[in-house]
């Protein structure tokens, strides 16, 4: 109990409030605000890298489930499409069309998919980091935003390598 008093005093001082009740109310208000800030996450990369499948996996959906992002062997996502996160209603995952397709050339991609409206980016690549991935990363950094690079379809490469070793 004695060790909690200095912690409580430090918390009160840090909060700028005079009572524990007021400090707790202030902290709860800040937490509520944090959980209600909208967050727009763009999932981007070249066509066919598994962007829609990634969004379905995050949302714990199979491709044939109702509300799932459409997937296919040909270009499926033709316009930026929003999907709500299943447990965080303020988070929207955006399935962006693939960069480098005839409709979404690298030169015009960022403007066409409105890069400025997204808060955070996930760049999906199914092979090695390519020229379009580098361009996306540079464009995101130029806007002072953050991104993660995700390697998809690695199971295909592992299977191919195992088959090659068997031959």
Q: Return the beta strands (E) in the chain as ranges.
A: 39-45, 81-84, 91-95, 120-125, 146-151
Give the model's pLDDT for residue 2.
43
Say whether 21 sits in a helix, a strand or coil. Answer: helix
**Does domain 40-158 bear CATH number 1.20.140.10?**
no
Instruction: Return the domain boundaries, the chain.
Output: 4-35, 40-158
Distance CA 82, CA 10 (A): 43
Which pLDDT tens digits describe the chain residue by residue (167 residues)? 444 566 777 777 888 888 888 888 888 888 888 778 899 999 999 988 999 999 999 999 999 999 999 997 777 788 999 999 999 889 999 999 999 888 898 889 999 999 999 999 999 998 788 899 999 999 999 999 999 999 987 777 677 777 777 76
Output b/e per residue, 17-33; b: 16+ Cβ within 10 A: beeeeebeeeeeeeeee
């Amino acid at each position: 109990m004695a060790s909690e008093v200095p912690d409580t005093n430090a918390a009160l001082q840090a909060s700028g409030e005079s009572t524990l009740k007021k400090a707790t109310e202030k902290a709860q208000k800040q937490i509520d605000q944090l959980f209600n800030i909208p967050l727009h996450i763009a999932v981007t990369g070249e066509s066919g890298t598994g962007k829609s499948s990634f969004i379905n996996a995050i949302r714990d959906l199979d491709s044939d489930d109702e509300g799932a992002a459409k997937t296919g062997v040909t270009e499926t996502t033709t316009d930026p499409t929003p999907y709500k996160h299943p447990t965080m209603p303020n988070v929207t995952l955006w399935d962006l069309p693939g960069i480098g397709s005839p409709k979404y050339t690298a030169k015009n991609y960022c403007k066409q998919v409105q890069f400025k409206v997204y808060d955070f980016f996930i760049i999906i690549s199914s092979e090695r980091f390519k020229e379009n991935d580098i361009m996306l990363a540079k464009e995101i950094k130029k806007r002072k935003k953050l991104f993660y690079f995700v390697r998809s379809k690695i199971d295909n490469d592992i299977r191919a390598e195992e088959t090659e070793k068997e031959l």
